[in-house]
Structure 1
Amino acid sequence: MSLDSPVSRRLLSDEVFHRLRDSIVRGELVPGEKVKDSELAERLGLSRTPVREALARLADIGLVEAKPGVYTRITTLNRRDAEKTLAVLRALDQLALETAVPVMTEQDLRSMREANRDFERAVAGDDTTAALAADDRFHAVPITAADNPVLSRIVEQVHPQIHRILYRKFSTLLGGRNTIEHHDQLIDVCATGDARAAAELSGQHWSELGGHINQLFDTNQFAEAPTA
């Protein structure tokens, strides 16, 4: 949904938060861009209060940074933050698999396979939004099966930091056959009930992703144009 579409009054604060978060992930609000609650409120057709609340929540999860009385801006992409976020996501994904694999059902495995087929079709169609949504559904299966609300909440908070990198460089980072094949391998290991092996395989994938992201930083592919 576009940032400029009118916002319904139901669950207003949450809707504004999700709208702004998604706009940051997609790059509609670019890293380093200064934002004003009054201008965003006008675009959304709202008062400033829910926009301020949303910006405060976005600051809590690291997508927005503010210097009171000076600026509020979209955080830039930097290697250090990416590395730390990836380390957290890797640990959480491994914990989810270690907890979930022993209790996963055939329906869980089917859901993972269906998500991976959707991911494969989205990759073939060069549809980044659909591919990332399918990838989220794939990884959500063990997270849900782990039945750990704290884990789920933290993943939801930190995932957007990596999603905006993936969105910008999807074809380089996730667009190849290797991710599809990794997903299939992970499903096969989960089906054996070997939680440790599943966690190790997942950790390898996160490490590979981190290496690819580092290469992009090395070649300055996340450099931002100067903002006013």
Structure 2
Amino acid sequence: MPIPQNAPAIDRRLLRDDVYHRLRDAIVDGTLAPGEQLRDIDLAGWLGVSRTPVREALLRLAEAGLVAAQPGRSTTVSSLSERAVHEARDVVAAMQQLAVRESVGNLTPDDLDAMRQANTRFRAAVDAGDIEAALLADDELHDVCVRVASNRALAAVLDQYTPVLRRAERLRFSSVAGAASADRHDDLIAALADRDGDRAAQIAATVWTTLPTTPPDAPQD
């Protein structure tokens, strides 16, 4: 897919993280497709920034496995390989377990209500086949524990590796498996409400480790 021509420009005062997040989201949602060549000058023009933050963002995206950089040649959007999804899945599952364990004693009734409301939106989105809304609601649900845990290292690891899974989860939430995720969310919230950290952590791991690791046409490596 060609670089879009009608995206709103980023305010030049914003930090380089905004460029990274815009490019990351464009890869996750398929705006920038697997195999597409990424030229920093084109991306800079699209986002309305200089080439420097774009280059920095591409380096970060390469570290996350979302782009493949060949020095002196080209940078392209990575394919969604089984190995990349499997590795990211295990890391994210471990971090989400940690977030649950570190937050379970500090979650307020409002936090739990926020998770329930997010799961209600998640279930409705899955039923309606609205993948974007399902992913957004899923993020909101899990982000409650991450926020309450207040562990910056944990949050940084999730920020790096969760986008790899989000590309694969588009397949999951468009199937009956999405409904099973909503049921696991209910179980997770109930365990958190009971302050049962061990059970909640086990459920959190199940939520993430049941994610399929073999997208259609994914290279096996």
TM-score of the two chains, using structure 1 as the length reference? 0.86
Amino acid at match of 2:180: N
The separation in 1 between residues aligned to 2:63 and 2:120, in whole angstroms, is: 34
From 201, 204, 209, give the equivalent of 1:202: 204
The separation in 2 between residues aligned to 1:99 and 1:67, in whole angstroms, is: 40
From 23, 28, 47, give the equivalent of 1:20: 23
The alignment status of 1:183 with 2:178, answered yes or no, reads: no
The separation in 2 between residues aligned to 1:151 and 1:120, in whole angstroms, is: 27
> Shift of the alpha carbon at 1:155?
0.8
Check whether the contact 1:17–1:57 (CA below 8 A) recurs between aligned residues.
Answer: yes
Cα deviations across residues 25-67 of structure 1 (Å, max 9, x unaligned)? Answer: 0011111221111222233343322221221221222211211
The separation in 2 between residues aligned to 1:78 and 1:48, in whole angstroms, is: 29
Change (3 A) 1:47 1:173: farther
Aligned residues with identical type, % of pairs:
41
Structure 2 portions without partners, runs of 5+: none
> 1:118 aligns to what?
121
From 67, 75, 96, give the equivalent of 2:70: 67
The alignment status of 1:145 with 2:140, answered yes or no, reads: no
Deviates more, 1:131-140 or 1:37-46: 37-46
> Shift of the alpha carbon at 1:169?
4.9
Deviates more, 1:163-172 or 1:13-22: 163-172
Check whether the contact 2:125–2:131 (CA below 8 A) recurs between aligned residues.
Answer: yes
Equivalent runs, 1:91-110 vs 2, <5 Å: 91-110=94-113
The separation in 1 between residues aligned to 2:67 and 2:203, in whole angstroms, is: 33
Higher helix share: 1
The separation in 2 between residues aligned to 1:75 and 1:111, in whole angstroms, is: 35
Amino acid at match of 1:222: D
Check whether the contact 1:63–1:74 (CA below 8 A) recurs between aligned residues.
Answer: yes
SS at match of 2:112: helix
Check whether the contact 2:65–2:84 (CA below 8 A) recurs between aligned residues.
Answer: no
Check whether the contact 2:12–2:49 (CA below 8 A) recurs between aligned residues.
Answer: no
SS at match of 2:167: helix
Structure 1 portions without partners, runs of 5+: none
Amino acid at match of 1:185: D
> 1:135 aligns to what?
138
Check whether the contact 1:26–1:168 (CA below 8 A) recurs between aligned residues.
Answer: no
Amino acid at match of 2:28: V
Q: Post-superposition, which runs of at least 4 consecutive aligned residues in structure 1 deviate over 4 A? A: none
> 1:56 aligns to what?
59
> Shift of the alpha carbon at 1:147?
2.0
Change (3 A) 1:12 1:178: same
Amino acid at match of 1:49: T
